[in-house]
Amino acid sequence: MLYRLNPKTIAINYSVNDVHADGLSHGMYLLLRKYLENTPFLDRLVSAEEINAALRGRKTATEISRIRAAIQTTEEILTHTFAFARPGTSEKQIYDFMQSQMTEHQVSEAWESANCPIVNTGPDSSVGHVGPTERQIEPGHILHLDFGVKQAAYCSDLQRVAYFLRPDESQPPAAALDGFNTILRAIQAAISEMKPGLKGVEIDEIARNTVVQAGYPEYMYATGHHLGRTAHDGAGILGPRWERYGSTPEYRLEPGHVYTIEPGLDVPGYGYMGIEEDVLVTETGAEFLSHPQKELIKI
CATH number of the domain residue 80 falls in: 3.90.230.10
Phi/psi at 200 (nearest 5 deg)? -60, -35
> Residue 268: what pLDDT?
97
* Res. 129 pLDDT band, cuts 50 70 90: confident
> Residue 164: what pLDDT?
98
For residues 117 and 254, state if they share a domain: yes
Q: What is the mean pLDDT of residues 187-197?
A: 98
How high is the mean pLDDT of the chain? 97
Q: What is the mean pLDDT of residues 272-282?
A: 98
User: Is residue 288 scored above 90 in pLDDT?
Assistant: yes
Q: What is the mean pLDDT of residues 185-189?
A: 98
For residues 43 and 102, state if they share a domain: no
Pick the more confident residue, 146 or 18.
146
> Residue 167: what pLDDT?
96
For 239, what's the count of Cα atoms within 13 Å in the CB-facing half-sphere? 21
pLDDT in tens, 99-110: 999 999 999 999
Mark which of 34, 55, 76 sits at the end of a domain.
55
For residues 117 and 172, state if they share a domain: yes
Alpha helices in the chain, H assignment, sequence order:
2-5, 26-35, 49-57, 61-84, 91-105, 174-193, 200-213
For residues 105 and 244, state if they share a domain: yes
For residues 44 and 96, state if they share a domain: no
For residues 283 and 171, state if they share a domain: yes
Round to whole Å and give the CA distance between 188 and 259. Answer: 14
A 10 A CB-CB count for 84 gives 13
Round to whole Å and give the CA distance between 156 and 230. Answer: 9
For residues 240 and 109, state if they share a domain: yes
> Residue 111: what pLDDT?
97
For residues 45 and 114, state if they share a domain: no
- The burial of 106, by beta-carbon neighbours within 10 Å (0-12 exposed, 13-18 middle, 19 or more buried), is given as exposed
> Residue 128: what pLDDT?
87
For residues 92 and 200, state if they share a domain: yes
For residues 75 and 174, state if they share a domain: yes
Instruction: Calculate what percentage of the chain has a pLDDT beyond 90.
Output: 96
For residues 41 and 130, state if they share a domain: no
- The burial of 10, by beta-carbon neighbours within 10 Å (0-12 exposed, 13-18 middle, 19 or more buried), is given as middle
Q: What is the mean pLDDT of residues 165-182?
A: 98
Structural domain boundaries, residue 168: 60-298
Q: How many domains does the chain have?
A: 2
User: Is residue 234 scored above 90 in pLDDT?
Assistant: no
Of the candidates 130, 156, 145, the one whose C-alpha atom is nearest the C-alpha of residue 291 is 156
For residues 117 and 262, state if they share a domain: yes
User: Is residue 35 scored above 90 in pLDDT?
Assistant: yes
DSSP class of residue 126? P
Q: What is the mean pLDDT of residues 262-275?
A: 98
pLDDT in tens, 249-268: 999 999 999 999 999 999 99
Q: What is the mean pLDDT of residues 222-228?
A: 97
Round to whole Å and give the CA distance between 36 and 43. Answer: 9
